Structure 1
Amino acid sequence: MGTKFIISVIGMFLVTYIPRFMPVYGLTKIELPQAVKSFLEYVPVAVLSALLFPVIFIKDGRLFLALSNIYLLSAIPTFIAAYFTRKLFTPVVVGIVSYVILSFIIK
């Protein structure tokens, strides 16, 4: 491995690690108000929703609500599993299994 490669890897590490580490390190030193803590609990759900909803509901730049939308159909049992189990692993498995089964049924 060349020196440029190693320097590039170290540089990429620093550029990605420091912005993640600094807020965590800084926030451990102060006590956040309860309102801020409550707000921050919704950030992962909001980010995940923002990533998933376009994949589930949009195809070719248009709203795609049809029985041939495998993503939408497999999301239904996945959301139900997530709601009732409140776990991470179960909805992931339900989503994968639903998608695989529906991909064989719907061509």
Structure 2
Amino acid sequence: MSAQSLADTSIWLVVLAASVGTFAIRLSFVALFGRLEEVPPGLERALKFVPAAVLTALVAPRLVYLDGTLALGVGNDRLLAGALAAVVAWRTESMLWTIVAGMAALWTLKWLALGL
């Protein structure tokens, strides 16, 4: 058995173990909630924040890091467009207008940076 085939086998074993682990975690929640008559109110309140937390975890690093370094200044177009989008989201509570305003701001800032 060569070193390369051993490495390939190890990678597949890790993928298999991660898949089984993920499936077991998800199945445990399905089985747990299948046995409960009602979800506890505290847990239900906490679960309402999960989508916002996940979205923030996905978006925030792209806004504050530029080329692998922390960029919190005026030169970070994504941060400025994100800040404008956050204001639009707060004022309008509309996902469509938030996306439109954020993308328009980002494209405008990129266009201005190229033109200067």
Same fold (TM over 0.5): yes
> Which sections of structure 1, spanning at least 5 residues, go unmatched?
1-14
2:112 corresponds in structure 1 to 105
| Residue 25 of structure 1, CA deviation | 9.2
Is residue 68–residue 106 contact of structure 1 (8 Å, CA) maintained in 2? no
Per the alignment, do residues 26 and 91 of structure 1 end up closer, same or farther by CA in structure 2, a change over 3 Å counting? Answer: farther
Write the distance in 1 (CA, Å) between the matches of 2:89 and 2:30: 28
Alignment of 1:46-61 (within 5 A): 46-61=53-68
| Residue 94 of structure 1, CA deviation | 1.0
Write the distance in 1 (CA, Å) between the matches of 2:69 and 2:94: 32
| Residue 50 of structure 1, CA deviation | 0.6
Instruction: State the 4+ residue runs in structure 1 displaced beyond 3 angstroms.
Output: 21-30
Identify the range of structure 1 (54-63 vs 24-33) with the bigger mean alpha-carbon deviation: 24-33
- Deviations 1:11-48 (Å, cap 9, x if unpaired)? xxxx9xxx6x9667974774211111111111111111
For this pair of structures, how many residues does the alignment match? 89
Write the distance in 2 (CA, Å) between the matches of 1:96 and 1:48: 17
Write the distance in 2 (CA, Å) between the matches of 1:68 and 1:35: 43
- The structure with higher relative contact order (CA 8 Å, sep 6+) is 1
1:70 corresponds in structure 2 to 77
Q: Does 1:89 align with 2:96?
A: yes
Write the distance in 1 (CA, Å) between the matches of 2:92 and 2:45: 22
Using the aligned pairs only, state the percent identity. Answer: 27
Q: For the aligned residues, what is the CA RMSD?
A: 2.3
Write the distance in 2 (CA, Å) between the matches of 1:59 and 1:30: 48
Per the alignment, do residues 30 and 89 of structure 1 end up closer, same or farther by CA in structure 2, a change over 3 Å counting? Answer: farther
Compute the TM-score of the two structures, normalised by the length of structure 1: 0.69
Per the alignment, do residues 55 and 25 of structure 1 end up closer, same or farther by CA in structure 2, a change over 3 Å counting? Answer: same
1:79 corresponds in structure 2 to 86
